[in-house]
Amino acid sequence: MIKLVYTNIYLKDGYLRRFDEGIKNSIISHFGKENFKIKTNSIKFDNLEFIYPDINKIIVGNSSKKRFLNLMLV
């Protein structure tokens, strides 16, 4: 039951969006606004450029959440 409760809490879109914002803010405070382009989700570090994942592609939606939770019962 604990496993299901935690899974349900952390799969909620609101939690994931707040977590994503916190990560972005942490990157900006550590590397500076000039190194994190929000529009392109790109991070420049040591002459390298990384693409930060789009949260909208990670959030799975309600039907996928139900399938995932059903798998957790096994």
Q: Note the pLDDT tens digit of each residue in 23-55.
A: 999 999 998 889 998 888 899 988 899 999 888
SS3 1: coil
In a domain, 16, yes or no: yes
Total domains in the chain come to 1
Which among 19, 30, 14, 26 has a CA at the least distance from the CA of 65?
14
Rounded alpha-carbon distances, angstroms, from residue 47 to 21, 51, 64: 24, 14, 38
In a domain, 15, yes or no: yes
| 74 domain residue, yes or no | no
pTM value > 0.75: no
Domain assignment of residue 29, given as a range: 2-69
Place of tokens 């798998």: 71
